[in-house]
Amino acid sequence: MAAPLVLVVLAAVTVRAALYRSSLAVFIAERVEVASPLNAWKRVVEGLALLDLGVSPYSGAIFHETPLIIYLFHFLIDYAELVFMITDVLTAVALYLAIQDFNKVVFKKQKLLIELDKYAPDVAELIQTPMEMHYIPLKVALFYLLNPYTVMSCVAKSTCAINNSVIAFFILATIKGSAFLSAVFLALATYQSLYPLTLFAPALLYLLQRQFIPIKLKSKSFWLYTMQYASLYLCSLVVIICLSFFLLNSWDFIPSVYGFILSVPDLTPNIGLFWYFFAEMFEHFSLFFVCVFQINVFFYTIPLAIKLKEHPVFFMFVQLAIISIFKSYPTLGDVALYMAFLPVWSHLYRFLRNIFILSCVLIFCSFLFPVLWHLWIYAGSANSNFYYAITLTFNIGQILLISDYFYAFLRRDYYLTHGLHLTRQDGTEAMLVLK
């Protein structure tokens, strides 16, 4: 499997290098869909220039990166393109290894459940075979590397790529079962952008499952392990934040990074839902609505944890998608990360109901983003409502995609345990509905 992966990597690197040398690089770097105030490359350069002039980079409202990024790019700023290409490759390799391991786990679990006779007799066609699962890791790496969203994000040199790679390493560490590494990477990811905090729950569930600790609220070993993991995570987070203090000898970075993420002061248009809403709102209500919008990201963790406690990796996928839809400054790089996981659930294809419409919606919206931006900003014949409409449609497409996958997953699970041909009490054919 190594050779095809290397081939894919080479192809991806070629595409990116070609785009870097072309004139599209400048055009893509300015697009708001890939460069948000949090991760635009221009701002990184500006922050480092300010530092060279002896001013704290957090003093204006320009730079919102964490101090570790300052440290990284202080030495690597001349090789920025290489850095981003390597980051993308690392992410893809991490995802590849993670999904390889995950497939083994899935297969083992399936075998166990078959032997325990947990499955209904007529579900032979639903069981996953090693044959069809053989190419999934390669497909995942392919999906990530050659996704146009990722390519554009890389050419724009948006630090979202670094964010994605940290999350990918976190997923790799979790699936391999190392609680310590997974806590460290999760702390790094949370330190970078606040939202991966919600990935704590699926990681914990996966690790508990791996240790064969049952998830009951009264069980002592459950709480012990949870406490261990939580303390590892919190300690690493505290250590990283204190270390960042020593870079510039000031706590300036906390309001600039986390205050900025949470309070959303910059309302530049992006593919998210925050900017238009808060541009129209009265000052009086903005605090309330900021809280409501931010809670929306974190809110789905508990119900999903309850429903998906047997399937933590799917939970992680759904959670990643929710983060990239509802976060305060989403970019296409975030979307690319969860889309890389879609091949893992390709066995759900027969249960997906709206996949054609949704893929059309997503593709059309991706094409319409630059068109309506041009109409609004340059031609002046449209206004922000047009662009926001496309944003809304894109997000609705994403949300429906996720809920479709969710439905398909739960439906397959139900069929596995209850048999493919469901009948109601009076004997007619029944249909599963997601309520």
Partner 1 sequence: VCTSRFWFNYRHVANTLSVYRSVKRLGIPDSHIVLMLADDMACNPRNPKPATVFSHKNMDLNVYGDDVEVDYRSYEVTVENFLRVLTGRIPPSTPRSKRLLSDDRSNILIYMTGHGGNGFLKFQDSEEITNVELADAFEQMWQKRRYNELLFIIDTCQGASMYERFYSPNIMALASSQVGEDSLSHQPDLGIGVHLMDRYTFYVLEFLEEIHPASQTNMNDLFQVCPKSLCVSTPGHRTDLFQRDPQKVLITDFFGSVRKVEITTETLSLDRDVAGFESKFPEEELATEPLKYAEQLPVAQIIHQKPKQKDWHPPGGFILGLWALIIMVFFKTYGIKHMKHVF
Residues that bind partner 1 (CB under 8 A): 51-52, 54, 68, 70-71, 74, 178, 180-181, 184, 239, 243, 246-247, 249
Q: Please, which residue, 54 or 121, has the CB nearer to partner 1? A: 54
Q: Among residues 54 and 303, whose Cβ is nearest to partner 1?
A: 54
CB of 181 to partner 1, least distance (A): 5
Q: 22-40: buried (b, 16+ CB within 10 Å) or exposed (e) per residue?
A: eeebeebbebbbbbbbbbb
CB of 77 to partner 1, least distance (A): 9
Least distance (Å) from partner 1 to the CB of residue 275?
Answer: 33
Cβ atoms within 10 A of the Cβ of 42, count?
A: 14
- Tell me how far, at minimum, the Cβ of 70 lies from partner 1, in Å: 8
Output the smallest distance, CB 71 to partner 1, in A.
5
Return the number of the residue (52 or 426) whose C-beta is nearest partner 1: 52
Cα 73 to chain centroid, rounded: 23
The smaller minimum CB distance to partner 1, of residues 72 and 342, is found at 72
Which residue number, 233 or 406, has a Cβ lying nearer to partner 1? 233
Q: For the CB of residue 248, give the shortest distance to partner 1 in the complex, in Å.
A: 9
Please, which residues bridge with residue 423 across strands? Answer: 429
**Minimum CB–partner distance for residue 187 and partner 1 (Å):** 11
Alpha-carbon distance of 33 to 330, in angstroms, equals 8
Q: Which is nearer to partner 1, 189 or 325 (CB)?
A: 189
Please list, residue by residue across 268-278, b when 16 or more beta carbons sit within 10 angstroms of its beta carbon and e when fewer do.
ebbbbbbbbbb
Q: How far is the CB of 160 from partner 1 (least distance, A)?
A: 22
**Closer residue to partner 1 (CB): 71 or 285:** 71
